[in-house]
Amino acid sequence: MTTTASTTAPIADARALGLAHYAARGVLEHVLARHGATFQQQVALRAAVTADGPQAPDDLVTQVQGSLKADPTDIRATLDELLAKQLLVADGAHLRPTDAGRELIAAVGAETAPITARIWGGISAEDLTAAGRVLALVAERANAELAALAA
């Protein structure tokens, strides 16, 4: 069955975006909890795993902060947690994921893949394209507002 937007569908707004985000995040956090990991740990570890090579801690902090808008002190604490769990390892002045860190990201991806397919499945390409455009614009505008507030 293909699901498409109808004329009776609610109009997208900040609340709808937030509810969708937290519902999807709740699914991911449920899977992460089975592995003893937090959402922020997963975001930081994924950044390290998908990087072209080892990254300086400050570079990982900047990347995670760009994604989560989290406090840099909290992100540094998350990196320390990943080091303590031996999911990241210091490589000179850089951090790199360990085999265990890569395996965690792979396991979480494998567990969430069928759930993700059920959540996103049946949504028309047109609806996904329109939603993608709107979400990119909302993110761009929100990032600009956040930058203005921080200035």
Number of domains the chain is built from: 2
Model confidence over 34-81: pLDDT tens digits? Answer: 999 999 999 999 999 999 989 999 999 999 999 999 999 999 999 999
**Per-residue confidence (pLDDT) for residue 7, from 0 to 100:** 60
Structure confidence at residue 6 (pLDDT): 53
Write down the pLDDT at residue 25: 96
Domain assignment of residue 29, yes or no: yes
Which residues, in sequence order, are bridge partners of residue 96? 89
Work out the average pLDDT over 127-145: 95
pLDDT at 9 (0 to 100): 75
Dihedral over alpha carbons 67, 71, 76, 77 (to 10 degrees): -110
Q: Is residue 82 one of the residues assigned to a domain?
A: yes
Q: Which amino acid is at 56?
A: A
How far, in Å, CA of 4 to CA of 126, rounded? 9
Segments forming the whole domain that contains residue 95: 22-112
Q: Which of 27, 47, 40, 19 is nearest to 114 (CA)?
A: 27
Q: What is the mean pLDDT of residues 101-107?
A: 98
Check whether residue 77 and residue 31 sit in a common domain. yes
